[in-house]
A and B are shown apart, each in its own frame.
Chain A
Amino acid sequence: AQKVTQAQTEISVVEKEDVTLDCVYETRDTTYYLFWYKQPPSGELVFLIRRNSFDEQNEISGRYSWNFQKSTSSFNFTITASQVVDSAVYFCALGSTGANNLFFGTGTRLTVIP
């Protein structure tokens, strides 16, 4: 069974603080893909990152970084020096080869207070 858990429903931080959004997944597939999407108030989901199960390298993109640990089935997302524009709902998602569906977590609503 495929499952994604985002235990943090809502997080509030003050601008310039660092924040980590947690994502824990379950799958029996040996090849799978993990994604993070951002959904601002305007509604569209914005793709942030894709990671396949064979690539455990952490990634940094500007203020964003991702920590993938297969040993704990986690794919956590850290925003450094948060900004008000980071306020959004963030979804972690799990997909697999040959599948045309994504399993989304329930999302974490991040509010950055100026």
Chain B
Amino acid sequence: DTEVTQTPKHLVMGMTNKKSLKCEQHMGHRAMYWYKQKAKKPPELMFVYSYEKLSINESVPSRFSPECPNSSLLNLHLHALQPEDSALYLCASSQGLTGSTEAFFGQGTRLTVV
């Protein structure tokens, strides 16, 4: 099983809403990632969790708050987002550091902020 599962697949939220994106993997990977991808652009790294600890935060605004409850789960809590935050949010996991090992991605959550 090499699957990374993300829920929900689509999300529409208002600028005052609070919502969460969820990601799950059962490959025993110890590194998990959140990427943001705007239309016709490559993915941009947001956060990296390594052994359930936040190791990289790429200067992401505080309205995005990651959480890693255990080695299989990764959440992204959203609050007071702006319309420009509308994008595809991808979760990924890897056995080792993603600079040298392949990452496995979920199908993403297509987020629209209205």
A49 → chain B closest CB, angstroms: 9
Chain A contributes a number of interface residues (CB within 8 A of B) equal to 24
In the complex, what's the smallest C-beta–C-beta distance from A61 to chain B, in angstroms? 14
Q: Is the CB of A99 within 8 A of B107?
A: no
* B56 touching A101, Cβ below 8 Å: yes
Per the bound structure, the CA–CA distance linking A42 and B97 in Å amounts to 26
Q: Are B107 and A43 in contact, with the CB atoms below 8 A?
A: yes
Q: In whole angstroms, how far apart are the Cα atoms of A33 and B74 in the complex?
A: 26
Q: Residues on A close to B: CB < 8 A? A: 33, 35, 37, 42-47, 50, 52, 91, 95-102, 104-107
| Interface of B toward A, CB cutoff 8 Å | 4, 31, 40-43, 45, 48, 50, 55-56, 88, 90, 92, 97-108, 110
User: A96–B107 Cα gap in the complex (Å)?
Assistant: 25
Q: What's the Cα separation between A101 and B90 when bound, in Å?
A: 14
Question: Inside 8 A of A44's CB, which chain B residues have their CB?
Answer: 4, 90, 105-108
Say which residue of B40, B98, B102, B105 sits within 8 Å of A100 (CB atoms): B98
Contact B102 A47 (CB under 8 A): yes
- Chain B residues lying within 8 Å of A35, measured Cβ to Cβ, are 102
Minimum CB–CB distance for A79 against chain B, Å = 19
A43 contacts B100, C-beta separation under 8 Å: no
Contacts of B104 in A (CB 8 A): 47
Contact, CB under 8 Å: A99 / B41: no
* B-side contacts of A98, CB under 8 Å: 97, 99-100
13 CB-based A-B contacts, threshold 8 Å: A43-B107, A44-B105, A44-B106, A44-B108, A45-B92, A47-B105, A95-B97, A97-B100, A98-B100, A99-B100, A100-B56, A101-B48, A102-B103
Nearest Cβ distance between residue A103 and chain B, in whole angstroms?
Answer: 9
